[in-house]
Amino acid sequence: MSWQLETSSPRGLIKHRKLLEENRCRFLDHSPGLHPIQTIVYDSWIRCRQFGIDPLRHQTEDPPNGSDLENIIGCSILHKYSTATLNKLLIQAEKTKYLMTLCDTNGRIIYLGGDRQVKKQAEKMNFVLGSCWSEEAIGTNAIGTSLKTGYPVQIFSAEHFCEGIHDWVCSSSPVRDPVTKEVLGVIDITGCWKEAQAHTLGMVFMASRVIEHKLYEQSLLNRLQLLESYSSFVLRYPQNGVIALDAVFNPIEANLCARRLIHNLTGKDLETIWKEQTFTAILVKQHKSGQPQEDYKIFIEQFGTPCLIQEIYRGNQRIGSILILIPLDQRTTPSRALHNDTWTKLQSASWSKIVGKSSKILSAMSQCNMVAQTNVPVLLLGESGSGKELFAQAIHEISDRREGPFVALNCGAMPNELLASELFGYNPGTFTGAVKGGRKGKFEEAHQGTLFLDEIGEMPLRFQVHLLRVLQEREIVRLGGSTPIPVDVKIIAATHHNLEQLVNDGVFRADFYYRLHVVSITIPPLRERRDDIPLLIDHFLEQFASKYSKPLPMLDPQVRDFLINTYKWPGNVRELQNSLERAVLFCLNGIIAIEDLPQSIQKTLNDNSSWTRNIVSPANWKEFASSHKKEALLNLVKESGGNLSATARQLGIARTTLYRHLEKYGVKK
């Protein structure tokens, strides 16, 4: 049994304090006949006796110095996400004559606020920022005992093991990591024993839950970043098994290659063998045995294969790891391969047709990779010419349906009267001119594969209800027939329209929209991924030079700069591709000039006054470097907005050459 603070009357508190003092004396003297006492307190007293804690102590040890304390607080994730909640709670409790603290997992106070006079009294027992209130340091107290047991606890007066703390009451509740469930620290409210209230423990318990919820929100963000990293590594290592592990090395995602490799090596699936072989403990041990590092190589005996570990950080917090399994034929792969960012060497054949490494295009690829293994509809949004069909093909090729067909239908290019027969097929004799034996529709052709419905926004309203039924029932009926035919098809749709606006305008069914809009991925327009334009230019020039058996041409530096940094590319990648194909065909002397580009680009280029400014040509660079002063070079840098790459392109020189001249004039990069 345990006495509860059900009354805050002075008489009740005094009576209970005397009973506790009597209990403590009997315990210290090993005398029988203890009054009822909290089990959690009695167990703590036993531990204090085992620790050899001096029951006459009046204060805990001195806190660390200022710089050490700043480091402790600065490195605390718990402090970072608790401060706002504690500040709000402190405002509500500022007149209650209590102190509010947050302590880390070692019992050190990393947050302290409350009544100024109570603070002064608490300083006598070293209840200050940085001081340690673990059981090992100062015996039974709410902070230390809550940390030791993992439970909320209220310690009143002589329940404290050390005599110098008997004038206080404290209530603490642990805060746990939402993923690992480990105790990160405790929230504590401390005050004079005469101010003891039963509801104080409930208040700190609720505060700890609020903070745990904030930590949970952060864990979701961590999980998202970890999955984005995982998707990036899947693209980089298409022939390797890739497994995403959380902060305590539990698997949260794995690609098909990893699952197949593990099954081939062990005869069991990933989740089963992970539990049986306690890989989590093995990886934790290997992680803690070495120095912290971004990546390292390990050998997992049960797999019989070397592995690479890439640790993933968010800020200065390690949020998880990526485990890369190396197949038998790749065992010579060095661990430093993780730092090889040459995109053309790392991307899989499925993504080889999509040229780019900008953040937006990589993000779109990562999202596609996440949904490729699912069977939910995917809606690709993007302007015309942005490459939606290439993305659809890539999703198909990295999915578990890649052995099945990829069937595409442009809904906007198909006459309305033929759309039904194209989608659903028809039986023999359905109409005049029909194929004698009937014909399969696109759904049947795509069975166990992928059906790509391009320009879905052009789908006539009356056909949308039929498509909706197919998506729901997973079966079609041919024109002129009555027998349902089961179809197993992954749907990828694409449009340049704002479907939500079409729904509002009444030309697109809301139920069909929401059925398609399970996952939507936006393909960025070319003007929003300008970092990719140089790669695309070089790619298309090589492609068309080879196609037409011509020497690889070069772009005039001024024209190249305009195409990369200024032109808006309303037709996106398709416009760039067509423009460069024309230029390769018509250019003379191996140099593509303004006249070799389409009239629309020529007009825009000539109308843009900035490109005609006095820009130094490559031939005049030596003259420029020798005759112009520092100011002239800085003016060029300023005109490019501080973009040294653009400045180097304008000058027709390498960036390293530009850097040398800047350093010569005392200008740092």
Q: Quick one: tokens of 534?
A: 């140089």
Per the prediction, the chain carries an average pLDDT of: 82
Tell me the HSE value of 246 on the side-chain side, using a 13 A CA sphere: 15
pLDDT band at 343 (very low <50, low <70, confident <90, very high): very low
Residue 542 CA to residue 540 CA, distance in Å, equals: 5
| Whether the Cβ atoms of residue 170 and residue 142 lie closer than 8 Å to each other | yes
**For 79-91, what is the mean pLDDT?**
86
pLDDT at residue number 630:
66
Q: How far is CA 467 from CA 410, 411, 430, in A?
A: 15, 12, 21
**For 618-624, what is the mean pLDDT?**
49
Question: pTM for the whole thing?
Answer: 0.45
**For 338-357, what is the mean pLDDT?**
55
Residue 405 CA to residue 245 CA, distance in Å, equals: 33
Residue 363 clears pLDDT 60, i.e. is over it: yes
74 closest CA partner among 21, 129, 128: 129
Task: Tell me the pLDDT tens digit for each residue of 471-501.
Answer: 888 898 888 888 889 999 999 999 999 998 9
pLDDT band at 631 (very low <50, low <70, confident <90, very high): low
Residue 525 clears pLDDT 90, i.e. is over it: yes
**For 76-99, what is the mean pLDDT?**
83
Q: What is the 3-state secondary structure (H, E, C) of 463-502?
A: HHHHHHHHHHHCEECCECCCCCEECCEEEEEEECCCHHHH
Task: Tell me the pLDDT tens digit for each residue of 118-157.
Answer: 999 999 999 999 999 999 999 999 999 999 999 999 999 9
Residue 24 CA to residue 15 CA, distance in Å, equals: 15
Task: Detail the DSSP E strand segments found in 60-140.
Answer: 98-104, 109-114
pLDDT band at 451 (very low <50, low <70, confident <90, very high): very high
**For 43-67, what is the mean pLDDT?**
91
pLDDT at residue number 39:
92
pLDDT at residue number 428:
82
pLDDT at residue number 368:
85
Q: Which residue has the tokens 């027969």?
A: 421
Task: Tell me the pLDDT tens digit for each residue of 267-316.
Answer: 888 888 887 766 776 677 666 544 445 567 776 766 666 788 888 887 77
pLDDT at residue number 454:
92
Phi, psi of 108 (to 5 degrees): -85, 135
**For 63-72, what is the mean pLDDT?**
82
- Per 3-state DSSP, the chain is made up of helix, strand and coil in percentages (nearest 5) of 50, 15, 35
Residue 622 clears pLDDT 60, i.e. is over it: no
**For 406-410, what is the mean pLDDT?**
91
Q: How far is CA 575 from CA 383, 498, 534, 568, in A?
A: 12, 22, 15, 11
Phi, psi of 574 (to 5 degrees): -60, -40
More confident residue, 449 or 272: 449
pLDDT at residue number 320:
87
